[in-house]
Structure 1
Protein backbone atom coordinates (compact mmCIF):
# COMPACT_ATOMS: atom_id res chain seq x y z
CA UNK A 1 0.00 0.00 0.00
CA UNK A 2 2.89 2.33 0.77
CA UNK A 3 4.20 1.84 -2.76
CA UNK A 4 0.84 3.05 -4.09
CA UNK A 5 1.16 6.22 -2.02
CA UNK A 6 4.63 6.84 -3.42
CA UNK A 7 3.34 6.19 -6.93
CA UNK A 8 0.48 8.65 -6.35
CA UNK A 9 2.89 11.31 -5.09
CA UNK A 10 5.22 10.72 -8.03
CA UNK A 11 2.25 11.01 -10.40
CA UNK A 12 1.30 14.36 -8.88
CA UNK A 13 4.82 15.68 -9.40
CA UNK A 14 4.78 14.47 -13.00
CA UNK A 15 1.80 16.72 -13.77
CA UNK A 16 3.16 19.67 -11.76
CA UNK A 17 1.11 19.21 -8.58
CA UNK A 18 1.97 18.61 -4.92
CA UNK A 19 0.12 16.39 -2.42
CA UNK A 20 -2.41 17.70 0.08
CA UNK A 21 0.06 17.26 2.95
CA UNK A 22 2.27 19.95 1.41
CA UNK A 23 -0.66 22.37 1.15
CA UNK A 24 -1.61 21.68 4.78
CA UNK A 25 1.97 22.36 5.88
CA UNK A 26 1.87 25.67 3.98
CA UNK A 27 -1.32 26.66 5.77
CA UNK A 28 0.12 25.85 9.21
CA UNK A 29 3.21 27.93 8.43
CA UNK A 30 1.05 30.78 7.15
CA UNK A 31 -0.94 30.86 10.41
CA UNK A 32 2.34 30.90 12.36
CA UNK A 33 3.52 33.81 10.19
CA UNK A 34 0.26 35.69 10.79
CA UNK A 35 0.72 35.21 14.55
CA UNK A 36 4.21 36.72 14.28
CA UNK A 37 2.85 39.73 12.38
CA UNK A 38 0.22 40.32 15.10
CA UNK A 39 2.84 40.08 17.87
CA UNK A 40 5.06 42.47 15.95
CA UNK A 41 2.22 45.00 15.65
CA UNK A 42 1.72 44.83 19.42
CA UNK A 43 5.46 45.35 19.98
CA UNK A 44 5.41 48.40 17.71
CA UNK A 45 2.45 49.89 19.59
CA UNK A 46 4.13 49.39 22.96
CA UNK A 47 7.40 50.84 21.63
CA UNK A 48 5.55 53.91 20.28
CA UNK A 49 3.91 54.47 23.68
CA UNK A 50 7.26 54.10 25.40
CA UNK A 51 8.92 56.60 23.05
CA UNK A 52 6.11 59.13 23.43
CA UNK A 53 6.60 59.10 27.21
CA UNK A 54 10.37 59.36 26.94
CA UNK A 55 12.15 62.70 26.69
CA UNK A 56 15.10 62.90 24.34
CA UNK A 57 18.17 64.76 25.42
CA UNK A 58 20.04 66.98 22.97
CA UNK A 59 23.00 65.16 21.42
CA UNK A 60 21.77 61.73 22.48
CA UNK A 61 21.98 58.89 19.98
CA UNK A 62 18.45 58.06 18.80
CA UNK A 63 17.09 54.58 19.41
CA UNK A 64 16.31 52.77 16.15
CA UNK A 65 14.36 49.92 17.71
CA UNK A 66 11.03 51.24 16.47
CA UNK A 67 12.29 51.64 12.90
CA UNK A 68 13.77 48.13 12.96
CA UNK A 69 10.47 46.70 14.17
CA UNK A 70 8.56 48.56 11.46
CA UNK A 71 10.97 47.33 8.79
CA UNK A 72 10.62 43.76 10.00
CA UNK A 73 6.83 44.13 9.98
CA UNK A 74 6.94 45.39 6.39
CA UNK A 75 9.14 42.50 5.29
CA UNK A 76 7.01 39.83 6.97
CA UNK A 77 3.71 41.36 5.82
CA UNK A 78 4.85 41.66 2.22
CA UNK A 79 6.33 38.18 2.18
CA UNK A 80 3.17 36.79 3.74
CA UNK A 81 1.09 38.43 1.04
CA UNK A 82 3.25 36.96 -1.69
CA UNK A 83 3.22 33.37 -0.48
CA UNK A 84 -0.18 33.08 1.16
CA UNK A 85 -2.07 30.02 -0.12
CA UNK A 86 -5.57 30.51 -1.45
CA UNK A 87 -8.21 30.82 1.25
CA UNK A 88 -11.20 28.56 1.65
CA UNK A 89 -11.46 25.31 -0.25
CA UNK A 90 -8.47 23.61 -1.72
CA UNK A 91 -8.05 25.10 -5.15
CA UNK A 92 -5.93 24.07 -8.08
CA UNK A 93 -3.54 26.94 -7.33
CA UNK A 94 -2.72 25.42 -3.94
CA UNK A 95 -1.54 22.20 -5.54
CA UNK A 96 0.74 23.60 -8.23
CA UNK A 97 4.38 22.73 -7.86
CA UNK A 98 5.42 26.25 -8.88
CA UNK A 99 3.31 27.94 -6.17
CA UNK A 100 4.51 25.46 -3.58
CA UNK A 101 8.14 25.96 -4.55
CA UNK A 102 7.68 29.74 -4.26
CA UNK A 103 6.09 29.40 -0.83
CA UNK A 104 8.89 27.23 0.56
CA UNK A 105 11.63 29.41 -0.93
CA UNK A 106 10.24 32.49 0.81
CA UNK A 107 9.39 30.60 4.00
CA UNK A 108 12.98 29.37 4.32
CA UNK A 109 14.19 32.99 4.08
CA UNK A 110 11.95 34.33 6.87
CA UNK A 111 11.52 31.30 9.13
CA UNK A 112 14.19 32.32 11.65
CA UNK A 113 12.73 35.83 12.02
CA UNK A 114 9.26 34.39 12.52
CA UNK A 115 10.52 32.02 15.23
CA UNK A 116 12.37 34.88 16.97
CA UNK A 117 9.18 36.92 17.14
CA UNK A 118 6.75 34.14 18.05
CA UNK A 119 8.96 32.41 20.59
CA UNK A 120 10.63 35.52 22.02
CA UNK A 121 14.20 34.33 21.48
CA UNK A 122 17.18 35.55 19.49
CA UNK A 123 19.36 33.51 17.17
CA UNK A 124 22.14 33.62 19.74
CA UNK A 125 19.98 32.22 22.57
CA UNK A 126 20.85 28.84 23.99
CA UNK A 127 17.39 27.45 23.29
CA UNK A 128 17.00 28.89 19.77
CA UNK A 129 17.49 25.51 18.09
CA UNK A 130 14.92 24.01 20.43
CA UNK A 131 12.45 26.75 19.45
CA UNK A 132 13.24 26.19 15.75
CA UNK A 133 11.90 22.67 16.23
CA UNK A 134 8.46 24.31 16.62
CA UNK A 135 8.67 25.73 13.12
CA UNK A 136 10.11 22.50 11.78
CA UNK A 137 7.13 20.60 13.20
CA UNK A 138 4.79 22.89 11.25
CA UNK A 139 6.47 21.71 8.06
CA UNK A 140 5.40 18.09 8.56
CA UNK A 141 4.15 16.93 5.18
CA UNK A 142 6.36 19.30 3.22
CA UNK A 143 7.45 17.70 -0.03
CA UNK A 144 9.70 20.41 -1.51
CA UNK A 145 13.05 21.18 0.12
Structure 2
Protein backbone atom coordinates (compact mmCIF):
# COMPACT_ATOMS: atom_id res chain seq x y z
CA UNK A 1 0.00 0.00 0.00
CA UNK A 2 2.75 2.47 0.95
CA UNK A 3 4.64 1.71 -2.26
CA UNK A 4 1.60 2.64 -4.35
CA UNK A 5 1.21 5.86 -2.34
CA UNK A 6 4.83 6.72 -3.15
CA UNK A 7 4.13 6.10 -6.82
CA UNK A 8 1.07 8.36 -6.64
CA UNK A 9 3.15 11.07 -4.95
CA UNK A 10 5.82 10.84 -7.66
CA UNK A 11 3.20 10.89 -10.40
CA UNK A 12 1.55 13.90 -8.76
CA UNK A 13 4.84 15.79 -8.67
CA UNK A 14 5.40 15.06 -12.37
CA UNK A 15 1.91 16.38 -13.11
CA UNK A 16 2.79 19.77 -11.63
CA UNK A 17 6.20 19.87 -13.34
CA UNK A 18 8.37 18.78 -10.41
CA UNK A 19 10.58 15.79 -9.63
CA UNK A 20 11.16 14.13 -6.24
CA UNK A 21 14.17 14.84 -4.06
CA UNK A 22 15.61 11.42 -4.93
CA UNK A 23 16.06 12.58 -8.55
CA UNK A 24 17.83 15.76 -7.43
CA UNK A 25 20.11 13.77 -5.13
CA UNK A 26 20.98 11.40 -8.00
CA UNK A 27 21.85 14.43 -10.15
CA UNK A 28 24.17 15.73 -7.44
CA UNK A 29 25.96 12.39 -7.11
CA UNK A 30 26.44 12.22 -10.88
CA UNK A 31 27.70 15.81 -10.95
CA UNK A 32 30.28 15.01 -8.25
CA UNK A 33 31.41 11.99 -10.29
CA UNK A 34 31.72 14.25 -13.35
CA UNK A 35 33.78 16.77 -11.34
CA UNK A 36 36.09 13.95 -10.25
CA UNK A 37 36.57 12.96 -13.90
CA UNK A 38 37.43 16.56 -14.85
CA UNK A 39 40.05 16.72 -12.07
CA UNK A 40 41.62 13.44 -13.22
CA UNK A 41 41.61 14.60 -16.82
CA UNK A 42 43.27 17.92 -15.92
CA UNK A 43 46.02 16.04 -14.07
CA UNK A 44 46.46 13.69 -17.02
CA UNK A 45 46.78 16.65 -19.40
CA UNK A 46 49.43 18.27 -17.20
CA UNK A 47 51.48 15.08 -17.07
CA UNK A 48 51.11 14.64 -20.83
CA UNK A 49 52.31 18.23 -21.39
CA UNK A 50 55.36 17.62 -19.21
CA UNK A 51 56.10 14.40 -21.06
CA UNK A 52 55.81 16.13 -24.44
CA UNK A 53 58.05 19.01 -23.38
CA UNK A 54 60.79 16.54 -22.45
CA UNK A 55 60.40 14.55 -25.65
CA UNK A 56 62.24 15.43 -28.83
CA UNK A 57 60.34 14.93 -32.05
CA UNK A 58 62.02 13.32 -35.00
CA UNK A 59 61.66 15.07 -38.35
CA UNK A 60 58.91 13.41 -40.41
CA UNK A 61 57.51 11.54 -37.39
CA UNK A 62 53.76 11.24 -37.05
CA UNK A 63 52.63 13.62 -34.30
CA UNK A 64 50.93 12.16 -31.25
CA UNK A 65 47.42 13.57 -30.90
CA UNK A 66 46.85 12.22 -27.40
CA UNK A 67 47.16 15.64 -25.79
CA UNK A 68 44.72 17.23 -28.21
CA UNK A 69 42.24 14.40 -27.69
CA UNK A 70 42.48 14.80 -23.91
CA UNK A 71 41.96 18.56 -24.20
CA UNK A 72 38.94 18.06 -26.45
CA UNK A 73 37.44 15.60 -23.99
CA UNK A 74 38.06 18.05 -21.15
CA UNK A 75 36.32 20.81 -23.10
CA UNK A 76 33.31 18.58 -23.76
CA UNK A 77 33.01 17.50 -20.13
CA UNK A 78 33.47 20.97 -18.63
CA UNK A 79 31.03 22.57 -21.06
CA UNK A 80 28.45 19.87 -20.48
CA UNK A 81 29.04 20.02 -16.74
CA UNK A 82 28.44 23.76 -16.76
CA UNK A 83 25.17 23.30 -18.61
CA UNK A 84 23.69 20.62 -16.39
CA UNK A 85 25.14 21.36 -12.97
CA UNK A 86 22.36 21.41 -10.39
CA UNK A 87 22.24 24.29 -7.93
CA UNK A 88 24.68 24.01 -5.07
CA UNK A 89 23.71 24.30 -1.44
CA UNK A 90 20.06 24.52 -0.51
CA UNK A 91 17.35 22.76 -2.42
CA UNK A 92 15.35 25.32 -4.33
CA UNK A 93 12.32 25.18 -6.59
CA UNK A 94 14.72 25.20 -9.56
CA UNK A 95 16.22 21.89 -8.37
CA UNK A 96 12.86 20.20 -8.61
CA UNK A 97 11.62 21.31 -12.03
CA UNK A 98 10.89 18.54 -14.46
CA UNK A 99 12.38 20.53 -17.33
CA UNK A 100 15.73 21.07 -15.56
CA UNK A 101 15.86 17.42 -14.55
CA UNK A 102 15.07 16.25 -18.09
CA UNK A 103 17.88 18.48 -19.41
CA UNK A 104 20.33 17.10 -16.86
CA UNK A 105 19.59 13.46 -17.67
CA UNK A 106 19.65 14.06 -21.44
CA UNK A 107 23.17 15.50 -21.22
CA UNK A 108 24.33 13.03 -18.58
CA UNK A 109 23.34 10.11 -20.80
CA UNK A 110 25.51 11.56 -23.59
CA UNK A 111 28.69 11.82 -21.49
CA UNK A 112 28.27 9.04 -18.92
CA UNK A 113 30.47 6.51 -20.76
CA UNK A 114 33.32 9.03 -21.12
CA UNK A 115 33.09 9.91 -17.44
CA UNK A 116 33.26 6.22 -16.47
CA UNK A 117 36.24 5.67 -18.77
CA UNK A 118 38.16 8.48 -17.08
CA UNK A 119 37.19 7.74 -13.47
CA UNK A 120 37.52 3.98 -13.65
CA UNK A 121 40.53 3.84 -16.00
CA UNK A 122 38.88 1.62 -18.60
CA UNK A 123 37.92 1.88 -22.25
CA UNK A 124 34.65 0.89 -23.86
CA UNK A 125 36.42 -2.11 -25.34
CA UNK A 126 37.67 -3.40 -21.98
CA UNK A 127 36.32 -6.69 -20.71
CA UNK A 128 35.18 -5.13 -17.45
CA UNK A 129 33.66 -1.95 -18.92
CA UNK A 130 30.07 -3.05 -18.25
CA UNK A 131 31.03 -3.91 -14.68
CA UNK A 132 32.51 -0.42 -14.28
CA UNK A 133 29.36 1.14 -15.78
CA UNK A 134 27.52 -0.29 -12.80
CA UNK A 135 29.27 2.38 -10.70
CA UNK A 136 27.59 5.13 -12.71
CA UNK A 137 24.31 3.25 -12.69
CA UNK A 138 24.43 3.10 -8.89
CA UNK A 139 24.89 6.88 -8.76
CA UNK A 140 21.61 7.22 -10.65
CA UNK A 141 19.60 5.45 -7.96
CA UNK A 142 16.51 7.57 -7.38
CA UNK A 143 16.44 8.87 -10.94
CA UNK A 144 12.86 9.25 -12.14
CA UNK A 145 13.37 10.45 -15.72
CA UNK A 146 14.70 8.12 -18.41
Please give the range of the TM-score, normalised by the shorter of the 2 chains: over 0.9
Unaligned runs of 5+ in 1: none
Unaligned runs of 5+ in 2: none
Give me the whole-angstrom Cα distance separating, in 1, the residues matched to 2:26 and 2:8: 21
Task: Tell me by how many angstroms 1:113 deviates.
Answer: 0.2
What is the CA deviation profile of residues 125-145 of structure 1, one whole-angstrom value per residue up to 9, with x for unaligned ones? 000000000000000000000
For the pair 1:6 / 2:7, whether they are aligned, the reply is yes
Q: Secondary structure at the match of 1:134?
A: helix
Root-mean-square deviation (Å): 0.5
How many residues get paired?
Answer: 145
Give me the whole-angstrom Cα distance separating, in 2, the residues matched to 1:104 and 1:34: 16
Aligned position for 2:48: 47
Query: Residues 1-145 of structure 1 correspond to what in structure 2 (within 5 A)?
Result: 1-145=2-146
Task: Tell me by how many angstroms 1:3 deviates.
Answer: 2.0
What is the CA deviation profile of residues 61-118 of structure 1, one whole-angstrom value per residue up to 9, with x for unaligned ones? 1100000000000000000000000010001111000000000000000000000000
- Bigger CA drift: 5-14 or 115-124? 5-14
Task: Tell me by how many angstroms 1:2 deviates.
Answer: 1.9
Runs of 4+, deviation exceeding 2 Å: none
Q: What TM-score do the two structures reach when normalised by structure 1? A: 0.99
